[in-house]
């Protein structure tokens, strides 16, 4: 009987710890003004129409159609913030160099493969959008540059009047925002990392997948891969704490409508945006 009692006590304590570790921020800045919008993933790009992801043309089209945009930021060697998903330019510009190893001048010698545009800076995109629609800004950290990237991003945003939220897979970004800029809407990106082998350290992947950094970083929303939305920790965080949710990348229009009914932010792609590999 004693063994059973101890076992139950341990289970109860572990369950309580799990619940406490899921806790997001309470009474943070409201995402209400961002909820009416759908967010075009990397802008409203369309490879079939020759429009690159994270290009000025993609953000122009999204803004003109009344969509917000989700965009990705990297830091150059000389501390400039550029808009690009990958650290390497190989996939999007056809040259195998890393952004963090190059200056902005070196980066801008290379062109996006469909439009032939130069790679935009964050300032370029903000000037284009000009507060007309909200933005979901993902910070892509490399080599431990989370503080430098976050500071540089906020410096660019200093005079910007539009609505935005900042998110990252790197919990250090979210933690930095908690301690230094609590006025900004902050989000933790996550997915089932066990299905994406090699993307992160397995231990960190377990913690992020199960939202176990939330008690430290206190995110205002969780941005979760839509295919993994049945995560027990995600569902518990919503049920217990009412955490705000964002889902990426949603490609089914009916699913967009369904998830929006529950107040989630939706990062979408149209089904025909990417060229199908033969």
- The better pLDDT of the pair 5, 77 is held by 77
**Phi, psi (5° rounding) for residue 151?**
-65, -45
Catalytic pick from 29, 60, 77, 85? Answer: 85
Give the model confidence (pLDDT) of 190-206 as tens digits.
Answer: 999 876 665 678 899 99
Question: Is residue 276 in some structural domain?
Answer: no
Residue 114 belongs to a domain with what CATH number? 3.20.20.190
DSSP assignment of 201-226 equals -HHHHHHHHTTTTHHHH--SEEEEEG
**66, two tokens:** 């009344």
- pLDDT for residue 193: 84
The whole-number average pLDDT for the span 139-148 is 97
Contacts of 52 (CB under 8 A, 6+ apart): 45, 58, 92, 112, 113, 114, 115, 117
Contacts of 11 (CB under 8 A, 6+ apart): none
**Phi, psi (5° rounding) for residue 8?**
-65, -40
Q: How many domains does the chain have?
A: 1
Give the model confidence (pLDDT) of 151-186 as tens digits.
Answer: 999 999 999 999 999 999 999 999 999 999 999 999
Question: Is residue 201 in some structural domain?
Answer: yes
Question: Is residue 29 in some structural domain?
Answer: yes
- pLDDT for residue 268: 98
Residue 8, pLDDT above cutoff 80: yes
Question: Is residue 278 in some structural domain?
Answer: no
- Catalytic-residue membership of 41: yes
Give the model confidence (pLDDT) of 256-277 as tens digits.
Answer: 999 999 999 999 999 999 986 5
Residue 17, pLDDT above cutoff 80: yes
Give the model confidence (pLDDT) of 40-66 as tens digits.
Answer: 999 999 999 999 999 999 999 999 999
Residue 20's nearest CA partner among 266, 245, 218 is 218
Question: Is residue 274 in some structural domain?
Answer: no
- Catalytic-residue membership of 85: yes
Catalytic pick from 22, 24, 38, 41? Answer: 41
Residue 122, pLDDT above cutoff 80: yes
Question: Is residue 273 in some structural domain?
Answer: no
Residue 230, pLDDT above cutoff 70: yes
Question: Is residue 159 in some structural domain?
Answer: yes
Residue 41's nearest CA partner among 72, 64, 82, 65 is 72
Question: Is residue 127 in some structural domain?
Answer: yes
pTM (2 decimals)?
Answer: 0.95
Whether the bond between 185 and the residue before it is cis, its omega within 30 degrees of 0, is: no
Residue 251's domain comprises 2-268
The whole-number average pLDDT for the span 243-263 is 96
């Amino acid at each position: 009987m004693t063994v059973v009692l101890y076992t139950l006590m341990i289970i109860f304590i572990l369950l309580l710890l799990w619940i406490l570790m899921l806790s997001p921020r309470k009474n943070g800045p409201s995402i209400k003004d961002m909820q009416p919008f759908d967010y075009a993933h990397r802008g409203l790009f369309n490879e079939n129409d020759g429009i690159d992801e994270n290009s000025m043309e993609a953000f122009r089209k999204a803004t003109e159609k009344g969509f917000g945009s989700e965009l990705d930021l990297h830091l150059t060697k000389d501390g400039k913030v550029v808009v690009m998903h990958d650290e390497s330019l190989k996939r999007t510009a056809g040259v195998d160099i890393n952004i963090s190893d190059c200056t902005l001048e070196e980066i801008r010698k290379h062109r996006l493969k469909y439009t032939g545009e130069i790679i935009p800076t964050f300032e370029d995109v903000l000037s284009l959008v000009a507060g007309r629609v909200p933005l979901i800004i993902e910070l892509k950290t490399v080599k431990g540059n989370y503080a430098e990237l976050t500071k540089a991003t906020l410096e660019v945003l200093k005079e910007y009047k539009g609505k935005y939220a900042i998110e990252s897979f790197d919990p250090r970004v979210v933690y930095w925002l908690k301690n230094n800029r609590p006025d900004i809407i902050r989000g933790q990106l996550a997915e089932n990392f066990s299905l994406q082998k090699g993307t992160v350290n397995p231990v960190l992947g377990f913690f992020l997948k199960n939202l176990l950094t939330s008690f430290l970083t206190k995110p205002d929303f969780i941005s979760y891969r839509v295919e993994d939305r049945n995560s027990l920790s995600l569902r518990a965080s919503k049920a217990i704490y009412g955490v705000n949710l964002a889902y990426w990348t949603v490609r089914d229009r009916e699913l967009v409508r369904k998830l929006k009914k529950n107040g989630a932010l939706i990062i979408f792609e149209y089904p025909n945006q990417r060229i199908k590999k033969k």
